[in-house]
């Protein structure tokens, strides 16, 4: 079988001749090929391949939607006020017309040895929803974490909506 015919060069073209290669496009096709190969191996014990290689034909399952805006925006500030960071986060959400799903702020306060992470998103009712986690390490004491965990849906970070 010529697995990459019409698809351009591939690593599959450089496998040893004793390797059976199969390119499949669907689960049904994969199952059918696997059944046939299993049966062949059971019947022809003297002429077995050393390797079996299965390759899935690429499709758009993992392609990112091409938007002009990021799906997740991060505003960080060392000297900016939390109010300015929040205003910037709200801007990302509103100016992108929904393309930016989550805007996060990272506020670093060196004096109090505190980092505040906030995530903002619009809920189904167009209300701004906010989650916050604060990590603080006061002098001569243990690190404190308030508000954990901060959850960011995978679907947002992977651009799959």
Looking at per-residue pLDDT, the higher value among 66 and 144 belongs to: 144
Confidence bin at 70 (pLDDT 50/70/90): confident
Beta bridge partners of 103: 73, 120
pLDDT at 48: 56
Give whole-number Cα distances, 8 to 4, 19, 21, 107, 116, in Å: 7, 19, 16, 49, 50
Q: What angle do CA 92, 90, 77 make, to 5 degrees?
A: 85
pLDDT at 4 over 50: no
Q: Which fold has domain 72-157?
A: SHC Adaptor Protein (3.30.505)
pTM over 0.85: no
* Whether residue 1 has pLDDT greater than 50: no
Question: What whole-number distance in Å separates Cα of residue 84 and Cα of residue 90?
Answer: 10
pLDDT of residue 32: 85
pLDDT band at 69 (very low <50, low <70, confident <90, very high): confident
pLDDT above 70 as % of the chain: 64
Distance CA 119, CA 134 (A): 12
Q: Delimit the domains of the chain by residue range.
A: 11-58, 72-157
Q: Average pLDDT, stretch 3-14? A: 54
Distance CA 74, CA 70 (A): 10
The segment with the largest mean pLDDT, out of 85-89, 95-99, 148-152, is: 85-89
Q: What's the pLDDT band for 5 if we cut at 50, 70, 90?
A: very low
């Amino acid at each position: 079988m010529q697995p990459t015919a019409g698809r351009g060069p591939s690593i599959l073209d450089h496998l040893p001749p004793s390797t059976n290669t199969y390119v499949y496009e669907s689960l049904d096709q994969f199952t059918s090929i696997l059944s046939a190969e299993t049966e062949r191996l059971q019947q022809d014990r003297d002429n077995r391949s050393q390797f079996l290689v299965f390759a899935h034909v690429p499709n758009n399952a993992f392609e990112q939607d091409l938007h002009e805006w990021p799906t997740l925006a991060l505003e960080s500030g060392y000297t900016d006020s939390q109010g300015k960071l929040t205003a910037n986060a709200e801007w990302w959400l509103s100016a992108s017309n929904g393309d930016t799903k989550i805007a996060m702020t990272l506020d670093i306060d060196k004096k109090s040895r505190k980092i505040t992470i906030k995530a903002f998103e619009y809920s189904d009712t167009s209300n701004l929803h906010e989650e916050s986690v604060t990590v603080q390490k006061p002098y001569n004491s243990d690190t404190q974490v308030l508000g954990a965990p901060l959850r960011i849906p995978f679907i947002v970070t992977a651009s799959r909506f």
